[in-house]
Amino acid sequence: MNYSSGLALGLASILLSAPHAHAQEDAISLDSLVVTASPTPRAIERIANHVSILSGEDLRASGVSHVGEALRTVAGLHVIRSGSIGAVTSLFLRGGESDYTLVLVDGMQVNLPGGGFDFASLTTDNLERIEIVRGPGSALYGSDAMAGVVHIITRAGEGPPQLTARLGTASYSEARNELVDGFRWSTDLVGGNERLRYSASLSREETDGILPFNNRHRSTNLSGNARFRADNVTRMAISLRLTDREYQFPTDGAGAVVDQNAFSYGDDKLIHLRATRALTDAFELEGMFGVSGTDGGTDDAQDSSADSVGFYAFKSLDEVQRTKGELRANLTFDLGVLTAGGEVERESQRSLSESMSEFGPSVGENRNERRNHAAYVHFSGDYVGASLNTGARLEDNERFGTAATWQVGLSKAVPWSNSATAHVLVGRAIKEPTFFESFATGFVRGNPNLKPERAISWEFGLEQGLFADVAALRATYFDQRFEDLIQYTFAPPKPMGSNYFNVGAATSRGVELGADIDIGLAQASAAWTWLDTEVIDSGFENGPGASFLEGDPLLRRPSNAVTVSASAPVGSSGRVYGRLLVVGSRSDRDFSTFPEMRVKLPMYHLMSFGVEWAFITRAAKSPGVSVFAQLENLLDQYYEEASGFRAPGRQIHTGISVRFGGGLQ
């Protein structure tokens, strides 16, 4: 029996051998609760972190088809797409690095070991909601949750079976002599009853991109979720997600359009099982087992026989996998819920590379793995009008040894208002080294003795409800210090020695302001983020071409960002929506020069507008049919999110949606 199957069997036997008891709650329906910030669901006003929840239904209704685009509207988050549609899409949360955010799908980590995650192909199909929990999350989730956690939760489904089919086309302002530059289709099936809730989705997207050649992007996504209540005390859930993607890019490292045949590709997978068993009214066991991973690489063949200077051909393949088993116990008593748990995780990576240059061929191969054992304890409770969220976790990693993280948070109704809440949070978080930083061989050598990067963070916030909760105002101040940052040096201290060391440090502080208004079926929201980052220890880096200079801000982090969005019904069959995104100036590096000098990217603003109209209302024996149209980057503004890489101009999306079955509205 192998490691994965043995762990899964052990968890199942512990949970399913328990005696019957009365369930404390039906945890299948969690619409009004937050499930990411603590081991057990909590009301949002009882969470010490600044939390945002995006509804999947609202996102799809407003024309948002990708998770990365949805995250652009959230205070404290900055999304960067490195060029055309399908290019690498990264998230910077509260000024942290792009690998400082833990990404979960139905409770399973999907980011690469060491934190990196590409949002380019993650869609909102079959999405129930996205929970964004800002602040240190390592006390509960371990490595990579330095700045926060983004949790994508798949729909469970309910009611009579409902099938929805959607077909759309896309046209871009860039001149390509094509009427249609892309298309997208999806089919979704949802339904359920008190015992079983389910959903399944299949979608496909293809575009020709915005650049004149070699810029096609395609992705196919399959997702499914089933939640089963075996009896009054036993609940089980399984999630599955598969993605097949390819992105052709003609750009070099500086953004110049020069390459005829370079492309990247990948297959992503996720399967996660969860089982919960109540032993008594107050004691519950929960077991989880999951596997996630990616298998992909880059292929850049020789363009022609004349392409023979420098490095002119390259191939790579990386296969990365996480396997995790977790068991936790929840004890409920008068003051709250005490949780104790343990986790076993195995991370593995197999890398192959082959390059051709005027100096001859070069081939590299690496196989590495690391195991991590962790134990944690967490308490969530209420006392005298205050809610406490606190926890600690101890990691025992076979590569970097032990590391302790912790978190203490308090939220409380303020004395001057019945509808205002204050919260304060402080905690310690870590991010493990990537496999490349630890184990690289060849021209670059990893350092197996690297320690995790560390962060100490705190925040304070207020939320005020207005006009009988028709409106809500939020304000949060945060302050973070990042230490033991891993840096690369071209000249290692020892000949043939490691190129990576824990030497850097930086700070990030800021303010997040937000407002939401709901009047009937009309909704509006606004958010403003002010951010101040600073390098306080530049480590090895110095000189005009350095990206990490003491006293300078961190790259690609705007000091100011504003988002405004609104939607409203039109008659009984239509809905209009609009969004405005304003991103302030920020520093970057110009990789077309040597050394790569710092540049200032100018402010940009993006406007979008859309409408959806149901011209056939769904009836008992007939489908509902609606059409939609959407304009992105309405003013066709030229801008770059990464220096040298042009972002898409105006986009026109049109389509039709047909819905069969389900309950009648």
Domain ranges of the chain: 3-170+188-661
Residue range 484-495, pLDDT digits in tens? 999 999 888 888
Q: Which amino acid is at 177?
A: N
DSSP state letters, 351-381: EEEEEEETTEEEEEEEEEEEEEEEEEEEEEE
Give the 3-state DSSP-derived string for 597-636, with helices as H, strands as E and coil as C.
Answer: CEEEECCEEEEEEEEEEEEECCECCECEEEEEEEEECCCC
HEC states along 12-45? Answer: HHHHHCCCCCCCCCCCCCCCCEECCCCCCCEEHH
- Name which of 379, 424, 374, 334 is nearest 42 in CA terms: 379
Q: How far apart are CA 275 and CA 14, in angstroms?
A: 10
Amino acid, single-letter form, for residue 613: W
The token pair at 125 is 């199909």
pLDDT confidence band for 25 (50 / 70 / 90): very low
pLDDT for 9: 46
How many of the other CB atoms lie within 10 Å of CB of 530? 16
Of the pLDDT bands very low, low, confident and very high (cuts 50, 70, 90), residue 664 is low
Confidence band of 21 (pLDDT split at 50, 70, 90): very low
Q: Give 5's pLDDT tier (boundaries 50, 70, 90).
A: very low
At residue 620, the pLDDT reads 64
pLDDT exceeds cutoff 60 at 6: no
Q: By three-state DSSP, how is residue 60 classified? A: helix
d(CA 129, CA 67): 10
Q: Which CATH superfamily is domain 3-170+188-661 in?
A: TonB-dependent receptor, beta-barrel domain (2.40.170.20)
Measured between alpha carbons, how far is residue 303 from residues 215, 256, 574 in Å?
15, 15, 51
Choice between 419 and 412, residue whose per-residue pLDDT is larger: 412
pLDDT tops 80 at residue 360: no
Structure pTM?
Answer: 0.93
pLDDT for position 391:
97
Q: How far is CA 609 from the centre of its chain?
A: 25
Q: What is the mean pLDDT of residues 269-285?
A: 97
DSSP string for 93-150: ETT--TTSEEEEETTEE-SPTTS----TT-B-TTEEEEEEEES--HHHH-TT-SSEEE
- Lowest mean pLDDT: which of 63-67, 263-267, 305-309, 652-656? 305-309
Question: What per-residue string of b and e applies to 172-210 under the rule 16 or more CB within 10 Å gives b?
Answer: bebebeeeebbebebbbbbbbeeeebbbbbbbebbbbbb
| Share above pLDDT 70 across residues of the chain, in percent, rounded to a whole number | 94
- Reported residue count of the chain is 665
Average the pLDDT over 106-117 and give the result.
Answer: 94
Largest separation between any pair of C-alpha atoms in the chain = 77
- The pLDDT value recorded for residue 29 is 47
The mean pLDDT value for 436-442 works out to: 89
CA distance 516 to 414: 20
User: Would you call 5 helix, strand, or coil by DSSP?
Assistant: helix
**pLDDT at residue 565, as a whole number:** 96
The C-alpha atoms of residue 69 and residue 579 are separated, in whole angstroms, by: 11
CB count within 10 Å of CB 604 equals 18
Q: What is the pLDDT of residue 26?
A: 40
Q: What is the pLDDT of residues 601-642, one digit of tens each?
A: 999 999 999 999 998 887 767 799 999 999 999 999 999 999
126-160 in b/e form (b: 16+ CB < 10 A) is: bbbbbbbbbbbbbbbbbbbbbbbbbbbbbbbbbee
113 and 87 Cβ atoms separated by less than 8 Å: no
Q: Where residue 662 falls among pLDDT bands split at 50, 70, 90?
A: confident
The answer to whether residue 22 scores a pLDDT higher than 70 is no
* Two structure tokens written together for 149: 């956690």
pLDDT band at 434 (very low <50, low <70, confident <90, very high): very high
**Alpha carbons 631 and 650: distance in angstroms, whole number:** 7
Task: Spell out the residues 6+ positions from residue 383 whose beta carbon is closer than 8 angstroms to its own.
Answer: 335, 336
Region of residue 394 (phi > 0: left; psi between -120 and 50: alpha; otherwise: beta): beta
The residue-averaged pLDDT of 398-408 equals 95
Residue 208's SS3 state is coil
Dihedral sign, Cα of residue 53, residue 54, residue 55, residue 56 = negative
Q: What is the pLDDT of residue 20?
A: 42
Residue 61, SS3 per DSSP: helix
| Nearest-angstrom CA–CA distance, 310 and 303 | 13
Higher pLDDT among residues 619 and 161, named by residue: 161
Residue 340 near residue 326 (C-beta atoms within 8 A): no
Q: What is the pLDDT of residue 198?
A: 97
Residues in Cβ contact with 446 at an 8 Å cutoff, skipping those fewer than 6 apart: 435, 436, 437, 438, 439, 440, 498, 499, 500
- Would you state the structure tokens that stand for residue 232, as one six-digit string? 């009054």
Lowest mean pLDDT among 296-310, 404-418, 596-610: 296-310
Q: Which two tokens stand for residue 269?
A: 């997978």
H/E segment holding residue 582? strand 574-583
User: Quick one: average pLDDT of 26-51?
Assistant: 81
Mean pLDDT in residue range 247-252: 95
Alpha-carbon distance 203 to 617, whole Å? 24
Name 81's bridge partners. Answer: 89
Extract the tokens encoding 277. 């068993």
Q: What is the pLDDT of residues 496-526, one digit of tens each?
A: 889 999 999 999 999 999 999 999 889 999 9
pLDDT of residue 594: 84
Judged by average pLDDT, the poorest of 42-46, 201-205, 555-559, 563-567 is: 42-46
Contacts of 433 (CB under 8 A, 6+ apart): 114, 399, 400, 447, 450, 451, 452, 453, 486, 500
Inform me whether the pLDDT recorded for 2 exceeds 80: no
Q: Other C-beta atoms within 10 Å of 339: how many?
A: 22
**What integer best gives the mean pLDDT of the chain?**
91
pLDDT at 30: 56
Question: Which is more confidently placed, 142 or 302?
Answer: 142
Rounded-to-integer distance, Cα 373 and Cα 398, Å: 9
The predicted structure's pLDDT at residue 13: 47
> What CA–CA distance (Å, rounded) separates 66 from 63?
9
Return phi, psi of residue 263, to 5°.
Answer: -155, 155
Chain segment 56-92, per-residue pLDDT in tens:
999 998 889 999 999 999 999 999 999 999 999 999 9
Give the Cα separation of 38 and 470 in Å (integer). 27
Most confident among 223-227, 299-303, 353-357 (mean pLDDT): 223-227
Confidence band for 240, pLDDT divided at 50, 70 and 90: very high
State what percent of residues in the chain have pLDDT above 90. 78
19 pLDDT tier (thresholds 50, 70, 90): very low
| Over residues 516-540, mean pLDDT | 94
